[in-house]
Chains A and B, each alone.
Chain A
Amino acid sequence: MENIDVGILVVDDELVVRDSLYNWFKEDGYRVDTAEDAKMALKKLQESSWDIVLLDIKMPGMDGMELQKRIKEIDANMIVIMITAYASVDTAVQALKEGAFDYITKPFDPDDMGHLIRNAVAQRKLTEENIQLRQKIDELSKFDEIIGDSPAMKRVFELVETVAQSDATVVIHGESGTGKELVARAVHSNSPRRYFPIIPVNCGALPEGILESEIFGHEKGAFTGAQYRRKGKLEMADGGTLFLDEISSIGTKTQMDLLRALETKQFTRLGGTKEITVDFRIICATNQNLEKMVEEGTFREDLYYRINVFSIYLPPLRERRSDIPLLANHFAQKYALAMNKKITQISPGALDLLVQHDWPGNVRELENAIERAMVVGKPPRIMAEDLPFQLSAKKTDLTSDSLEEIEKTHIQHILERMEWNITRSAEVLKIDRVTLYNKIKKYGLKR
């Protein structure tokens, strides 16, 4: 922020003070104006934007304290600095309690004034940055990262919106790679907790003892190797959300501790005695059938009912094939940008293959397939042969044992895959183009 961008309004009934401060700030290059009373100050505050108001506490008519209240009504983030004589320091302290940035007693040291204004400008800048960042977070709090137009996904979006506003614990069910973490992040970023962090813990990736320490933290000397006190993820999620991925993997002891923390919002670090109170929300994800695990006795029933307040089921990709073209194009654009490649389309043949595939690894597998295709493919389109699973593509149903029939069906299939590009089809079939034309004619193949 250059000095010329900072607006300072001086409000004082004494002309000499107004003039002195006006000249002082002008010499420093600030945009500055003065007002002799509260009425004039309010008029100038409405007419133009100001960053800092220097306000005399004692003025005839509306005094500085009352004017400060009015200013805060106009702009709650306005930096107000009170000017006072020694006699009214008590009033200045009261002004601080009511939101003034600082106060300065007349006459002041030139160096103090310089420091005060620099600090005030820095504070104003931080406040503005904070507002802008919050706006950015609000803009990001959409479902941009979750792609899907199928009825199943529309239902997921509805559920996310419904549960986000509450503080209820959520369990996200879905196969591996369906995007459970993205849904958890969407719930968090649309909730009132969005300005605080979402802390993910992959419960499946850590052994029991380490997971316990990861979630609850530990005190120095709690176990061999605990050389320092360490905060757990639960403490880090204070004010925000703790996302427990693969909740089904956690052991019985951690399940018990977690249940207690969920019920009381209190816990102790490993090896500690002090109760720590935290404000958090839990979102869990699992690819296992928790209900079955409860029946089998491998997951605590009381914890299951405590976390299963609201369920979101994420369908596997094979149950929402209509979303595949949308997802594939999204990933193609994403990697085209990342790899700086001019591949912006997916050929109909390749798209057909993508839609037919069963995607056991779901969206994650699809994304990997597109990323690989972007690496090997050539602009302007991803072709079927760029995909990793073309050879394992859906088997053609053969209705006859005759060699001629098998040849006809195979040629038809390759032609469709190559979008009737004769040269490329001939290359794949390892025959010359004339032979291919003859076979098309012989079998009466058509586009």
Chain B
Amino acid sequence: MAFICVVPVHLPQESLLIPLLEHISSSFHRETRIVFLPIDPSFAYDHSRKQHNSSLLLAKLVDIKPKDALRIVGVTDLDLFIPILTFVFGEAQLSGPASIVSTQRLRNEFYGLPKNDGLLQQRLEKEAIHELGHTFGLVHCRNDLCVMRPSTYVENIDLKPPQLCYSCLKTIDEKLKAIPP
């Protein structure tokens, strides 16, 4: 059975993954598993920017994706960038198999605020669903009450709900129907 594969990539706080699995599974009605795969992210490190190139990590995830996995999502605490942007919370292949999410800028500590693991968990879940949504062909949604609404600041993530709106849910359901379980 095709499943959604969650892969930690340099993630010391693996406890975040258990609630995440449940959330992904209930959002996409697919079995979701954590798979530990050997990835050394140093190849994607950019010395001048002191960040990791998210596109390179994404390409690596595509290479190592288990054959029976429907989608793969990497979860990392590394600070990610794409060449044209100063940073990204995550990246995905639109209608492709892979996506990646970073917890680095989802942490309150990054902004000099007190640690809040509950908030971090919520933010991670929202961003993981958002990026996985792209892999199922969803584009950004204008609905304030949809997790597919784009977020350029962490505050934007807090404002949106962890679920898809009715319209995006309908699109996802149709896509999933076409994929055998």
Contacts and interface: CB of A to CB of B under 8 A. Distances in A.
Interface string A403-415: 0000000000000
B139 A107 contact: no
Given A14-B83, A20-B83, A27-B139, A110 B152 contact: yes
B153 interface: yes
Given A19-B55, A110-B152, A27 B86 contact: no
Interface residues of A, number: 22
B150 A28 contact: yes
B87 interface: yes
B140 A28 contact: yes
B21 interface: no
Nearest to A4: B139
Interface string B57-87: 0000000000000000000000001111111
B120 interface: no
A275 interface: no
Interface string A101-133: 000001111110110000000000000000000
B94 A107 contact: no
Interface string B75-113: 000000111111110011110000000000000000000
B135 to A, nearest CB: 11
Given A16-B55, A20-B55, A26 B85 contact: no
A19 B84 CA distance: 10
A25 to B, nearest CB: 10
A26 B152 contact: no
A21 interface: yes
A17 B84 contact: yes
Nearest to B83: A16
Given A26-B139, A27-B94, A28-B150, A110 B87 contact: yes
A17 B83 CA distance: 6
User: Which of B81, B85, B152 is packed against the most chain A CB atoms within 10 Å?
Assistant: B85
A24 interface: yes
A277 interface: no
Nearest to B88: A110
Nearest to A113: B85
A83 B93 CA distance: 24
Interface in B116-157: 134, 139-140, 150, 152-153
Interface in A13-52: 14, 16-17, 19-21, 23-24, 26-29
B94 A23 contact: yes
Interface of B: 49, 55, 81-88, 91-94, 134, 139-140, 150, 152-153
- Which 7 A-B residue pairings sit nearest by Cβ, starting from the closest? A111-B152, A29-B139, A110-B152, A16-B83, A20-B82, A20-B84, A28-B140
Interface of A: 3, 14, 16-17, 19-21, 23-24, 26-29, 83, 106-111, 113-114
26 contacts: A3-B139, A3-B140, A16-B84, A17-B83, A17-B84, A20-B83, A23-B91, A23-B93, A23-B94, A24-B82, A24-B84, A27-B134, A27-B139, A27-B150, A28-B150, A29-B140, A83-B84, A107-B81, A107-B85, A108-B85, A109-B152, A110-B85, A110-B87, A110-B88, A110-B152, A111-B153
